[in-house]
Structure 1
Amino acid sequence: MKASLNEILRNPVKEKMARGEVVASMMVRLVRGVEIVRIAKTAGFDTFYIDMEHCSFSLEATGQICMAALEAGIPAFVRVPANTPEYISRVLDGGASGVIAPHVRSAEQARAVVRAARFAPQGDRSANGSLPHLHYRSFPTAEANLALNRATMVIVMMEAVEALERVEEIAAVEGVDMMLIGTNDLTAEWGVPGQYDDPRVAAAYERTIAACARHGKHVGVGGLGSRPDLVAQFVRMGARFVSTGTDLGFLLAACTAKASAVASLIPSTSGDN
């Protein structure tokens, strides 16, 4: 028996955050093959996102990974290199379950992202009759577009001081699901790159979480993989999505630990094997 449209388009990340639970995510910047999908799911992540802003992945490689994620039942998001329809609509058509828009600085920019990511009446994304999300099955356009709008996540990144100053109006934009704070870029704009204990960091999270709570949106923690204490603090404050780090960072950390362990071994001097 074939699954229904709503069963096909379930988004477990949306469902988990709606229950008030915390979503664990990772970034993909290194592994260009579908193996990363199984690795992420086996590791226990709820989702992952391909960081096209900071890697050289092609749209083809990105689409292949996203389609594999659909089959594995783990939503894959894509951080696009530019907040333009030709990127946003194409990564979504290619199999992404959501889009992450970097460097959003105003409500106007957030609305432009929503328009590119959602079908009418919420946006002006062009209809595509054959999508991997639908198992390439044919459904009535009106029904399919409505269901896709519900399932697709639109995430805007708060990583500029200008965005923080306009956080209330950005949080109020209809069609935005989550605001992901880019802590590294924020501290860089303040002239204190990587200084996460700067009081402005906690204040930025507090302000964003409060604004999102008023408008029914979620907040994500980004750039704090090295500071689990701060991640825990911001989750207690209300954040519900945690970006834990990159596939490259995880691989390098594990390799470094293994190499260091061997380097620390003391060979026997007795001549025994």
Structure 2
Amino acid sequence: MTKKPIIGISANEVEDSGEKLHNLPINYLPAGYVRGVQLAGGLPILLPIGTKEDAIEYVTQIDKLVLTGGQNVNPKWYQEKLSFDASLMSTKRDEFELALINETMRQKKPIFAVCRGLQLINVALGGTLHQDLSQRTPEPVIHMQDPIPREEPTHKIRTEEGSSLRQIYGENTSVNSFHFQSIKELAPSLKVAAISEDNIIEGIESNSTISPILGVQWHPDFAYEAIEQEREIFKFVVNEL
């Protein structure tokens, strides 16, 4: 029997889960990550927020890391002052996931980063972020599409020639969009793999000197049931990255 690749997926947490879950504190992640990995033939493992020591143990036991979406990234990691509501970030989560990134790269294992994950890995490698795209006036492309259904593509991107994203999506495609932050200065060890109509970096890859990294600003986990290419990216991550 062929061993399934073990895919560690970073989890989020909330102290009060609401009445439906009896207001319990919970660790969680959107089911699309789990199901996307399962459909691609991988074995998903949830990685709850923990210590730096936990991060080392987790990475030792997985084959690949998936960094999920969620809160804004604390700008202190790229030496800027906070310009948004502090309740929108989780420094505790940042610290743990930065430890995951560092250890995964030390062990030279692949990383797939989605939305916040793309932003955090850029910061971890020396890049910076636009703290709030919605402050642009006028906003040329809407990057937070809520309340439009999450699986529905709302803006166009162009993939870079020779990139993994070009193989999966073709030269031009449309994607969903649920982010306030984006890459401003790209980390030196990363390269652009896709860009939006308003020149926001929508996809990244690592150069050949570090661990394999693929990042997307959109959410394949929201659209994998509706769109074939979003299933294909999970297959690529699990089986080829």
| Alignment TM class, shorter chain as reference | 0.3 to 0.5
TM-score when normalising by structure 1: 0.32
Higher strand share: 2
Structure whose CA Rg is larger: 1
TM-score when normalising by structure 2: 0.35
Higher helix share: 1
Q: Which has the higher contact order (CA 8 A, sep 6+)?
A: 2
